Every structure is written in C-alpha cells, then in structure tokens.
Amino acid sequence: MIPYASWTGTYRNLDALRGAGWHLLTGPHIMRGHGWRTPRWTDKTMAPHGLDNGAWTAYQKGEPFDAPAFERALDVAGEHADWIVVPDIVAGGRESLEFSLSWLERMRQFKLNLLAVQDGMELSDIRPHLSDRVGIFVGGTTDWKIDTMLEWGQLAKDVGCYLHIGRVNTCRRIRLCQRAGADSFDGTSATKFISTLPRLDHARRQTTIWEWV
C-alpha cells in the first residue's frame, strides 16, 4: 500500500516521510498556506501527491464546500496528482454521489479520479461508474467506514479499480486497510507527530494481515 501524509512545511517531517517512501496529500485547505504550489520536498523537487477536495475540512468547520478553491487546486496540482478525490458531501449518501457525478465529467482529463463513498451509499450505487480511471475513496463517518471497508474492497477487486481509504492514523486501521486490499491510505498522524512514523510505516510494510489488532 502507498501511504499518504498531509503536506507540511516542517522540513524534518518532510525528510522523514520522503525517506520512508511516503507520498503527500494536499488540497485547497492545505495549499492556501503554501502559496498555491504543488507539494515539494525540502530540496524543492515536486513530491508525489494525491489531491483531496477539501470537503471534509469544510464539514468539520461547518462551512460550505469551496468550489472555486478546489478549481484552483485542480489547476495547480491536478495534472501531476497520483489521484484526485471528486467533490462529495460528507455523510451525504446518494446525494453525495449525484454531486460527485456532476463534477466527474469535467475532471475526465485527469489520470485517476476517486469517487468518495459515504454513509448510506450502496455498492450498486457506485459500481456502474467505476473503471481503471475512476476508483473508490472510502470516506464517511468513522464507524461506517470501518464497518463497510471490506465490502468496498471486494467491489474494487471485482471491477478492477483503485481503492483508497481516508483518515487512517493507527496501526489497527492500517491492517484493516490491508485486509480490504487497499492500494493506498492517508492520515495526519505522521504529519503532526513524526515520532509515530516508524510504527505506522512498519505496520504498512507487514505482509501478515492480522484478523484483529
């Protein structure tokens, strides 16, 4: 699995993440603080990165989704992004999917777009829209994410699409991602507390998948 950590301006953390082979996660809410640039390592070379849409941060703050900021993020970082999370509505079920599909057509030029699955969404809702260029981003509330992770993993395997799982900050959740067959995951723990990086990276490198940790 490829691990993603939220972009930071702390050089020590960036060097440690790069050394461990992690990628960076950026988005409109992060890029504002970095002058609307693509993520860079300490030597100013571009870092491999995924592009979030900022919906989760807006949800946490009780603010509406900032479409203009996301459009700007697409212009700056979309072309080189490993993948992009299509705009969604946190815990919005099928309404979120309809919102995402309204954006998907204008994002077809990018190499890999991820549709965020949310509380209340069924496998059959998203299956027709998946392909080698449209994958799954497992979002939603924490309990729902954990309860349904394996189902989304099986769907991704069945249709042959990419699977990413968001907000993964513990060894236990990393191992759940392994069980689900995720291609990648993201979290903020290694960004905020670089001392957690060794054990998180050790967990993601394990080939034995424990039933429960």
Average pLDDT, integer, range 8-26: 97
Q: Is residue 213 part of a domain?
A: no
Whether the predicted pLDDT of 212 surpasses 80: no
- CATH number of the structural domain spanning residue 183: 3.20.20.60
Two tokens, residue 96: 């979120």
Question: What distance in Å separates the CA atoms of residue 152 and residue 196, rounded to the nearest whole number?
Answer: 27
Q: What is the mean pLDDT of the chain?
A: 94
Tens of pLDDT, residues 97-143: 999 999 998 999 999 999 999 999 999 999 999 999 999 999 988 99
Question: What distance in Å separates the CA atoms of residue 212 and residue 181, rounded to the nearest whole number?
Answer: 15
Tens of pLDDT, residues 146-179: 999 999 999 999 999 999 999 999 999 999 999 9
| Pairing verdict, β 23-26 and 2-6 | parallel
Residue-range definition of the domain harbouring residue 150: 2-205
- The count of domains in the chain is 1
Q: Is residue 210 part of a domain?
A: no
Task: Report the half-sphere exposure of 195 (CA within 13 A, side-chain side).
Answer: 1
Residue type, 11: Y
Question: What distance in Å separates the CA atoms of residue 201 and residue 38, rounded to the nearest whole number?
Answer: 24
Q: Is 103 left (phi over 0), alpha (psi -120 to 50) or beta?
A: alpha
